[in-house]
Amino acid sequence: MQTETSGRFDNTVPSKEALDVWKNADAVCFDVDSTVCVDEGIDELAEFCGAGKAVAEWTVRAMGGSVPFEEALAARLSLFCPSSFQVQDFLEKRPPRISPGIDELITKLKVNKTDPVASILGIPRQNIFANQLLFGNSGEFLGFDTNEPTSRSGGKAAAVEQIRKARGYEKLVMIGDGATDLEARRPGGADLFICYAGVQLRDGVAAKADWLVFNFKDLINSLE
């Protein structure tokens, strides 16, 4: 099945230039949902709260890039308005499920002295950029922090540029599955975008990637 799918794309084998950037990267930025983890966190939380189907439909649109990410995020959260107690209950009952091979890849990058930027994987908290939900004194949902760059379209690109400038990285790689991850591949941002399609294959994103992979083992083996 994977072979049939990957045959539709001509970027499953990296170019010499792409491989060089990957092997010599100073830092690698990872998307979390459907990349580091096998689930889309907001979809799982919505399903837990009884609004799974409607929210999942919005997620497909958001990840494909057909609507601004901030619009899709607000719309999805408004469908179920999770309280802080529901979020805590969800996290206790459904801990994150890690994608196969990601822990080995993170370890390999650290051995190669490449900085991984996603806590379960031993990545420092200061290296994590994430959306923040806002709650009132009684735990009621108030919204999300719009100051977080990851809350809007183009935000991941801005975060990557911020990371690069602050730490002086010469070569930086972005790995993810969605349109907002692809956006990070621009001057001043990521030098290489690797589309990970081991969980979700989004054709429009995959086709524009420098390198398309369906298994983290491909990335691990290329570092040998």
Q: Is residue 6 part of a domain?
A: no
108-125 pLDDT tens trace: 999 999 998 775 677 877
Instruction: Indicate if 16 and 88 belong to the same structural domain.
Output: no
pLDDT of residue 104: 96
Q: Is residue 2 part of a domain?
A: no
Does residue 7 fall inside a structural domain? no
C-alpha span between 164 and 182 (Å, rounded): 16
For the chain, give the mean pLDDT. Answer: 93
Distance of CA 103 to CAs 34, 56, 121, 151, 207, Å?
15, 27, 6, 26, 26
pLDDT in tens, 61-96: 888 888 999 999 999 999 999 999 999 999 999 999
33 assigned to some structural domain? yes
Domains: count for the chain: 2
User: What pLDDT score was predicted for residue 5?
Assistant: 72
Contact yes or no for 198/99 (Cβ under 8 A): yes
Residues acting as catalytic residues: 31, 33
Domain extent, residue 60, equals 40-95
Residue entry with tokens 């390999």 = 108
Name the phi and psi angles at 171, rounded to 5. Answer: -130, 125
3-state secondary structure of 218: helix
CA distances from 16 to 25, 167, 210 (A): 14, 26, 11
Distances from the Cα of 181 to the Cαs of 30, 50, 152, 163, 192, in angstroms? 9, 28, 12, 15, 11
Containing 14, the helix (H) or strand (E) segment is: none
Q: What is the pLDDT of residue 123?
A: 80
Q: Is 3 within the bounds of a domain? A: no
